[in-house]
Structure formats: structure tokens, C-alpha cells
Amino acid sequence: MFAQGDDSGYSTPLEGIRQKTLVYGARTLMTEFRLEAGRVLPLHQHPYEQTGYLVRGRLRLTIGQ
């Protein structure tokens, strides 16, 4: 699969956080996030597979408890 990236299609769920769904299906979701420095995504979970990548910066990710 190939996708051309651009700067459109973002939503802003929380201040300083922009997101755009890149790929979705019945059991998977891939979303691009753009977070301002120091921003935190609230603890949450998904009933399906979640895929992501980090382009720049640092990320602390917790899986499970």
C-alpha cells in the first residue's frame, strides 16, 4: 500500500494535538498524530489493532496495565 502525504485532513481532538486517519479497516487503524512538545494523549484502549510511527521527538508508550 502507498499513500501520498499532505497537510490536509487533520482534526484537533485536544489542544496541541492534531490527528489524521491514514488507513482503517475492520480490525486495524493507523493514525498520524502531530503533538506539540509536552502534550499527552489520555490513557485509552482500542478493541482492534493500532499501528503507529514516530517521525521526530520522543514517545513513551504503555501497553497493557
Question: Closest by alpha carbon to 3, among 26, 28, 31, 37?
Answer: 31
Q: Over the stretch 8-36, which tens digit does the pLDDT of each residue have?
A: 889 999 999 999 988 888 888 888 888 89
Question: Closest by alpha carbon to 32, among 63, 56, 65?
Answer: 56
Percent of the chain predicted with pLDDT > 70: 91
What is the residue extent of each domain of the chain? 11-51
How much is the pLDDT for 16?
Answer: 92
Please indicate whether residue 55 or residue 4 has the higher confidence score (pLDDT). Answer: 55
Please indicate whether residue 5 or residue 61 has the higher confidence score (pLDDT). Answer: 61
Question: Closest by alpha carbon to 55, among 9, 13, 15, 22?
Answer: 22
